[in-house]
Amino acid sequence: AQKITQTQPGMFVQEKEAVTLDCTYDTSDPSYGLFWYKQPSSGEMIFLIYQGSYDQQNATEGRYSLNFQKARKSANLVISASQLGDSAMYFCAMREAPGGGGADGLTFGKGTHLIIQP
């Protein structure tokens, strides 16, 4: 079974609109972390935001926020007021508890290709 599922292979969004990118995860570890990365066409991986499984509040970083619904095992990324420069691949990833059969290495989803249209 896939540990990270991103169900939207591609999305087109109008500039200035808010965007929600979906991510669901599967783990039996009580302690885990969830990450979002952006990969523009140039190829680099840019860290956007992190949410720990025990964090009480949803993480926010500037225009990025993470809608964490633990019971549903979902960690959707919300981008407010989208910009043309937001066009990129977006990856959701999970780190399971080290020593519990997991490692600090991240497990990635297949990504969502977001295109912002003017």
Partner 1 sequence: DSGVTQTPKHLITATGQRVTLRCSPRSGDLSVYWYQQSLDQGLQFLIQYYNGEERAKGNILERFSAQQFPDLHSELNLSSLELGDSALYFCASSPEGNTDTQYFGPGTRLTVL
Q: Is 43 in the site for partner 1 (CB under 8 A)?
A: yes
Residue 46 makes contact with partner 1 by CB under 8 A: yes
Closest-CA residue to 86 (of 115, 57, 61, 54)? 115
Distance (Å, whole) CA 112 – CA 76: 12
Considering the complex, state which of residue 73 and residue 102 has its C-beta at the smaller distance from partner 1: 102
Q: Specify the 3-state DSSP secondary structure of 70.
A: coil
Q: Which of 32, 68, 90, 91 binds partner 1 (CB under 8 A)?
A: 91
In angstroms, what is the minimal distance from the CB of 68 to partner 1?
14
DSSP, collapsed to helix, strand or coil, labels residue 85 as: helix
User: At closest approach, how far in Å is the CB of 79 from partner 1?
Assistant: 19
Which of 5, 50, 73, 78 is the binder for partner 1 (CB under 8 A)? 50
107 near partner 1, rule: CB under 8 A = yes
Q: Residue 74: enclosing H or E segment and its boundaries?
A: strand 74-79
